[in-house]
Amino acid sequence: MSSPPESFVLEPSGGFPNSPLPVLRYRGVEDAREAARCERRFAACGWVGAWRDGIYSFHHFHSTAHEVLGVVAGSVSVMLGGPEGRQLELLAGDVIVLPAGTGHCNLGSSGQLLVVGAYPRGTSWDLRRGDPAEREEVLRNLRAVPLPDADPLYGAGGPLLELWSRALSEGAR
């Protein structure tokens, strides 16, 4: 691995629970510059159910699965964490890992945007928009989401498990 991912934690915001687990951002991932290679890399690391598309242009999150997004072509400005969250500019070759509960929204993209997404094996995703009436169900769902078996780019030896396990142990203090 060339360099560790950037990582940051998003606090809960309104109907967006976010997560005590950090968002991870890997830059310049060569396999993320071609869709089939990106899908193969994710699948080899146990992140499956790959799809090719963009990112929804409304604020949403998944309460039943973590998600990895690889920007294969183009660029996109995303808001993470809900409407009051953190804005990121992602370019081709960038990969972000969103812990379950992390709000995300496409604020604008280049016309040729292509994203490959996937989820840890054994999970299935849902789509939530921060509805306060769903809060208790969402929180129950989030407590049931297991840590993935591997980092979506580097497998069992990658930094995701170390960073996420550390975040959980620090949060338990």
pTM, entire model: 0.96
* Confidence tier at 21 by pLDDT (50, 70, 90): very high
72 is a domain residue: yes
Q: Does 167 fall in a domain?
A: no
* 143-166: average pLDDT: 96
Beta strands in the chain, from DSSP E residues, in sequence order:
6-10, 19-26, 47-53, 67-73, 75-80, 86-91, 95-98, 104-109, 114-120
| CA–CA separation, 26 and 38 (whole Å) | 13
Is residue 165, in this structure, part of any structural domain at all? Answer: no
Q: What is the pLDDT of residues 44-79, one digit of tens each?
A: 999 999 999 999 999 999 999 999 999 999 999 999
In one-letter notation, the amino acid at residue 134 is: E
Considering the domain boundaries, does residue 168 fall inside one?
no
Give domain status of residue 76, yes or no: yes
Res. 3: pLDDT tops 80: no
User: Comparing 103 with 4, which gets the higher pLDDT?
Assistant: 103
Task: Return the pLDDT at 17.
Answer: 98
Q: Within a domain: residue 40?
A: yes
Question: Where residue 19 falls among pLDDT bands split at 50, 70, 90?
Answer: very high
State the CATH number of the domain containing residue 113. 2.60.120.10
Domain membership of residue 90 as a residue range? 6-159
On whether residue 169 sits in a domain, the answer given is no
- What is the band of 173 on the pLDDT scale with cuts at 50, 70, 90? very low
**1 domain-assigned:** no
pLDDT at 172 over 70: no
Domain count of the fold of the chain: 1
